[in-house]
Amino acid sequence: MARSFDVYGDWMNHNGKVVLLDGIKHKIKCNAYMARYPREEQVISVFAEPVNKRAKSYQEQRAILKDDFAVDVLDSDIEVQAEILSQLS
């Protein structure tokens, strides 16, 4: 989910960096754009996408979920966000 760029814009400093979540390496992908609804403002979305989709740990998670997945960082629990930020600093 997209959030206000004014509040979460610092995530752009971590675009492309790699973090470890549940034993799987993820790359941080940030996207900033202008939202038009409900009001026009610049927003940001931040995802953690798996780096190696052929890894055994990723394939095990994929088998459980029955789908490819990426973690929506800004829509995750605060503990997940804190874990990611601690790895990035």
Mean pLDDT of 14-39: 94
Structural domain total, the chain = 1
What percentage of the chain has pLDDT greater than the value 90?
69
Residue 66 belongs to domain spanning: 3-88
Predicted TM-score (pTM) of the model is 0.85
Q: What is the mean pLDDT of residues 78-89?
A: 95
Helix (H/G/I), strand (E/B), else coil: 89: coil
pLDDT tens readout for residues 27-55: 999 999 999 988 899 999 999 999 988 88
What's the pLDDT band for 67 if we cut at 50, 70, 90?
confident
Q: How far is CA 56 from CA 4, 17, 78, in A?
A: 36, 22, 27
